[in-house]
Amino acid sequence: MIFADRIDAGRRLAAALAPLRGEDCVVLALPRGGVPVAAEVARALDAPLDLVLVRKIGAPHQQELAVAAVVDGDTPQLVRNEDVIRLLHVSEDYLEAEARRQLKEIERRRTAYLAGRTPEPIEGRTAIVVDDGIATGATTRAALRAVRARRPRRLVLAVPVAPPDTIAALASEVDQIVCLSQPEPFGAIGAFYDDFRQLEDEDVRSILAATSRAGRGAAR
């Protein structure tokens, strides 16, 4: 399955999530790439859109390979990919230093994206965590655990594409997974998109603002 772009992926994902319309849902995007996907889901389900601010910790000299991920909150969580850490002999000093660095970036993004916005309440609601795809799952696992700690009634992971072994490994973290395509071999997420351009902070702000205006209009 090839997606034209993230909007196309979001609309297809929204169609698969249609049975959740009518539930008390909140849609949570992983920025940056997950935001346009999640915005389409939020519109289709008439649900609010918020963010889960999480950052991957890449391996030394191989930043695209996740050794861990950190997510902010009252108590920041570090989720480790122990197999990769052992294989590459990644030191604890490296992990701690990178966790501090990524938490600073999370704070920068919080200010850039959400300044003045109150976090959407999650407790007792159906929380739908959305990204544009998953590779190793370390970043996603950190996000899911942080959301679970906020006590949703139900936790759903929704992504357009991911490898089957990663989906299987994440199944215990959620109540439901919706994944449109699980190709094997997998490769890179961008290989499943015709347009997988990098998004900038301004793109995220614009999408959040547009989705917020649409929500207020629906409320009237």
**Domain extents for the chain?**
6-52+118-219
Fold of 6-52+118-219: Rossmann fold (3.40.50)
pTM of the entire structure? 0.86
pLDDT at 220: 33
Q: For the chain, what percentages of helix, strand and coil (3-state, to nearest 5) are there?
A: 45, 25, 30
Instruction: Give residue 214's pLDDT.
Output: 61
Give me the helix-helix angle, 201-219 and 92-114, nearest 10°: 50
Residue 193 CA: distances (Å) to CA of 45, 159, 207, 212 = 24, 13, 20, 27
- pLDDT tens by residue, 43-87: 999 999 999 998 989 999 888 788 998 887 767 778 888 988 999
201-214: string of b/e by CB count within 10 Å (b at 16+)? eebbeebbeebeee
Sequence letter at residue 52: V
- Answer yes or no: is pLDDT of 187 > 90: no
